[in-house]
Amino acid sequence: MNIPHIPVLLQEVKEIFADINDGYIVDCTVGYGGHSEALLEQNPTIKMICCDQDAEAIAFSKKRLEKFKDRVTFEHASFSTVISKYTDFPIRGILADIGVSSLQLDKKERGFSFESLTLDMRMNPSNPISAATIVNEYSQKKLEEILLEYGEMRDAKRVAQTICDNRPFASAKELAQVLKKLGGKPKIHPATLPFQAIRIEVNNELDELGELLESIYNSKLQDCLVAIISFHSLEDRIVKKTYKFWAQSCICPSGVMRCECGNNHSIGKIMTKKPIVPTKAEEKLNPRSRSSKMRVFRTDSHER
């Protein structure tokens, strides 16, 4: 079986989950199945729930993980919904690699790459909104808003105006070529941040991440390791802020002189003071890993 994808932070993920010897690990974004295969091989007594909103990813991973079929449950769904469906299962680990998968990037017909001949960017092809909808139909003001919020672009107004002045666009390649003329930072393609912003809007990515984290909190999982791999600062900021809140025992407002909340709100401990990032060797082997960051949290073993 030809497997072109190299999963990011693979050794680090294996180390994080190495001591789990019972129950289930949930791979919220199974993709090509690289992380799941490594964990199933390393931890022979665990089972896995492998989720993806992309039917193509599920089909690929089913073939790849065929030898573990008695230990794997597949879920074709958005990662924000998977935990709440399995609250009765003994979940001991949760992994979410929330970047665009290589399966999606490498297929030009999916419209994620600068060379794509379509303008799509949907992680779930059944999603009614595609990149073409946003690029060709959003108002200039709305485009500027998403470029500023999701791309953190100082020149959002100029880029939004350029898009509107040159539309309609039929492909990601055509859009990338127009954006390239605007110039930008050295070594970074000028279309990188606009594409990021459009992709986040298409797939509702930040809300999906927030809903996943909320579902983990509401599920009251005991003695569970939660590892989230993010690929840009907006996602990492959400994970960092959420973990900090989860670890706080007192949640009273800062101006309160005496604790009034009961001082018992912590649900566990942050395991990574700083995010885990790829080694130089991994970055060289897999350039797509460069911006990845993994943060880990362990929930308490006692019932809340």
Q: Is the pLDDT of residue 168 over 90?
A: yes
Q: Is pLDDT above 70 for 109?
A: no
Mean pLDDT for 206-230 is 95
18-32 residues labelled b (16+ CB within 10 A) or e (exposed): eebeeebbbbbbbbb
Instruction: Using the predicted structure, report yes or no on whether residue 125 has a pLDDT greater than 60.
Output: yes
Res 150 pLDDT > 90: yes
**What is the per-residue pLDDT for 41?**
97
Question: Which residues have CB under 8 Å from 41's CB, separation 6+?
Answer: none
Radius of gyration in angstroms for the set of CA atoms belonging to the chain, rounded to a whole number: 20
Say what the pLDDT of residue 81 is. 93
> For residue 255, what pLDDT is reported?
77
Task: State the CATH architecture for 10-100+206-299.
Answer: 3-Layer(aba) Sandwich (3.40)
Is the model's pLDDT at 183 over the cut of 80?
no
Is pLDDT larger for residue 103 or for residue 135? 135
Q: Which residue has the higher pLDDT, 257 or 238?
A: 238
Mean pLDDT of 256-279: 89
Q: What is the pLDDT of residue 17?
A: 98
Q: Is the pLDDT assigned to residue 104 strictly greater than 70?
A: no
Q: pTM value? A: 0.90
If you average pLDDT over residues 205-223, what whole number do you get? 94
CA distance 304 to 221: 9
**Mean pLDDT of the region 156-185:** 92
Is the pLDDT reported for residue 4 higher than 60? Answer: no
Average pLDDT of span 7-22: 96
Contact 99, 230 (CB under 8 A): yes
Average pLDDT over residues 20-37: 95
Average pLDDT, the chain: 91
Task: Look at residue 5 in the predicted model and tell me its pLDDT.
Answer: 67
Q: How confident is the model at residue 134 (pLDDT cuts 50, 70, 90)?
A: very high
Both structure tokens of 221: 């999982």
What's residue 259's pLDDT? Answer: 84
Report residue 252's pLDDT band, with 50, 70 and 90 as the boundaries.
Answer: confident
When mean pLDDT is compared across 55-64, 109-118, 201-210, the lowest value belongs to: 109-118
Contacts of 273 (CB under 8 A, 6+ apart): none
Spatial contact of 50 and 73, defined as CB atoms under 8 Å apart: yes
Q: What is the pLDDT of residue 1?
A: 59
Q: What is the mean pLDDT of residues 160-164?
A: 97
Q: Taking 70 as the threshold, does the pLDDT of residue 106 lie above it?
A: no
Domain boundaries, the chain: 10-100+206-299, 104-203
The pLDDT of residue 253 is 82
Mean pLDDT for 229-236 is: 93
The average pLDDT across 210-230 equals 96
Give 60-64's long-range contacts (Cβ < 8 A, gap of 24+). 60/32, 60/33, 60/103, 61/30, 61/31, 61/32, 61/33, 61/36, 63/1, 64/1, 64/3, 64/32, 64/33, 64/37
CATH fourth-level superfamily of 104-203:
Putative methyltransferase TM0872, insert domain (1.10.150.170)
